[in-house]
Amino acid sequence: QSVLTQPPSVSGAPGQRVTISCTGSSSNIGAGFDVHWYQQLPGTAPKLLIYGNINRPSGIPDRFSGSKSGTSASLAIAGLQAEDEATYYCQSFDNSLSANWVFGGGTKLTVL
Amino acid sequence: QLQLQESGPGLVKPSETLSLTCTVSGGSVSSSNNYWAWIRQPPGKGLEWIGSFYHSGNTYYNPSLKSRVTISLDTSKNQFSLKLSSVTAADTAVFYCARGDTALVSSYYFDSWGQGTLVTVSS
């Protein structure tokens, strides 16, 4: 059971827009800690996609965008492409017990 | 270009100690702008944070693993390491080392990852 809750899977056709939700609580996202997103292509290490809720590292296309509100956050992918098929993880910080970096369970994106 | 490379045994026996090293190139483990972490991923499952080490010496461990984990830095070799004791089959996973960035307040994330190394716990 992950501290952050994500849907197990989402899907969309090429060119469409999809969103992935990430729900936390008052001890992590709701406490003001930022949400970050990672993309993990099959058989590879995770890669930072969005940091600080809305920021894209250099080289990440602007098709990827993030948002945060209350105890939840979302990742949006516009103009879906075949190479976007991957698992996406949200991550934040939780102060309920001790310093604790926490991840969502991951969402598998299928491009139809 | 920062690079992180994990190394260590791919097979560990139950009840023994798993030891991994992460070699950092293109950056310094002594940087005050960063912290260093280990994250694992059991086969077919999600990511689990193991622990984070700041150059100041402050170390934070996942409460579920705290009694078995030690992370340390070797600034002379620009490396950091992970030791996980009393391992069982449940500890079988791909282990990643990663760099954290401290630039943003209230923002704790990993901006660079190693390629990962599979460690299997089996007799």
Q: What is the DSSP string of A47-99?
A: EEEEBTTTB--TT--TTEEEEEETTEEEEEE-S--GGG-EEEEEEEEE-SSSS
Helix (H, G, I), strand (E, B) or coil at A30: helix
Helix (H) / strand (E) element for A19: namely strand A18-23
- Which neighbouring-strand residues pair with A73? A22, A68
Which chain A residues are closer than 8 Å to B112 by Cβ?
48
Residue B32's pLDDT is 86
Residue B102's pLDDT is 85
Closest Cα in chain A to B6: A45
Which chain A residues are closer than 8 Å to B38 by Cβ?
none
Instruction: Of B34, B113, B6, give the one whose Cα is nearest residue A39.
Output: B113
Q: How far apart are CA A85 and CA A82, in angstroms?
A: 6
Give the amino acid at B105: V
Please list, in sequence order, all residues whose beta carbon lies within 8 angstroms of the beta carbon of residue A2, skipping any fewer than 6 positions away.
A102, A103, A104, A105, B46
Q: What is the DSSP letter of A37?
A: E
Q: 């292509």: which residue's tokens?
A: A41
Closest Cα in chain A to B39: A101
How, if at all, do strands A9-12 and A107-111 pair?
A: parallel
Which chain B residues are closer than 8 Å to A105 by Cβ?
46
Pairwise CB contact (< 8 Å): B115 & A104: no
pLDDT tens by residue, chain A, 112 residues: 899 999 999 999 999 999 999 999 999 999 999 999 999 999 999 999 999 999 999 999 999 999 999 999 999 999 999 999 999 999 999 998 765 899 999 999 999 9
Pairwise CB contact (< 8 Å): A45 & B113: yes
Q: How far apart are CA B73 and CA A94, in angstroms?
A: 24
Residue A97's pLDDT is 76
Residues of chain B with pLDDT under 50: none
Pairwise CB contact (< 8 Å): A103 & B47: yes
CA distances from A43 to A87, B24, B73 (A): 11, 22, 28
A42 touches chain B (CB under 8 A): no
A32 touches chain B (CB under 8 A): yes
Closest Cα in chain B to A105: B46
Exposure string for B89-110, b = 16+ CB within 10 A, e = fewer = eebbbbbbbbbbbeeeeebbbb
CA distances from B16 to A33, B71, B121 (A): 37, 17, 9
Distance of CA A71 to the CA centre of its chain: 14
Residue A105's pLDDT is 97
Of B60, B101, B114, the CB nearest to A45: B114
Pairwise CB contact (< 8 Å): A103 & B62: no
Each residue's pLDDT tens digit, B4-33: 999 999 999 999 999 999 999 999 999 888
Q: How far apart are CA A48 and CA A22, in angstroms?
A: 16
